[in-house]
Amino acid sequence: MRIEEEYQDILQNIEFAVACLYRRNPEMTDYAVQRTYEALVQAYTAEITGRARKPTDPSGLEAELLRDVRSMCEWRLGRREMPVMQGDAPKCKPIDVPTLVLCLKRLVKSVQRWNKRGGRQGYLDFMTQFVM
């Protein structure tokens, strides 16, 4: 089974966090999203391997994006309460860190693909059509 099918709910939850911020900040770009996804891949991979996490110091909108997406990831891992941005949602079974990393890597590929097709906001414009 493909990642998109097996983990559709996880991918949609993460993209929901991105879509919410993009709707409030239409100047956001795919590049900021890709950097955020990649930073989280590095952070959670470091957690798996027991290595020190590479420091990231985003600012402005990118810092807000990283905070919101990390919050959603932590919720899916079962480490925190539902992020405020989503309100009431059904309980979901926590996932493990390797599954989260797999999903984040898939999202990086999606950003790259849709950015090539649609330009600096190709991924954001494509993805937000499907995410409430």
Asked if 111 and 123 touch (Cβ cutoff 8 Å), the reply is yes
Cα–Cα distance measured from residue 101 to residue 23, given in angstroms and rounded to the nearest whole number: 25
Name the pLDDT band for 122 (thresholds 50, 70, 90). very high
Cα–Cα distance measured from residue 108 to residue 130, given in angstroms and rounded to the nearest whole number: 17
Orientation of helix 8-24 relative to helix 60-76, angle to 10°: 150
The owner of tokens 């996804």 is 37
Residue-wise pLDDT for 35-93, tens only, equals 999 999 999 999 999 888 777 888 899 999 999 999 999 999 999 887 655 556 667 88
Q: Where are the alpha helices (DSSP H) in 25-96?
A: 30-49, 60-76
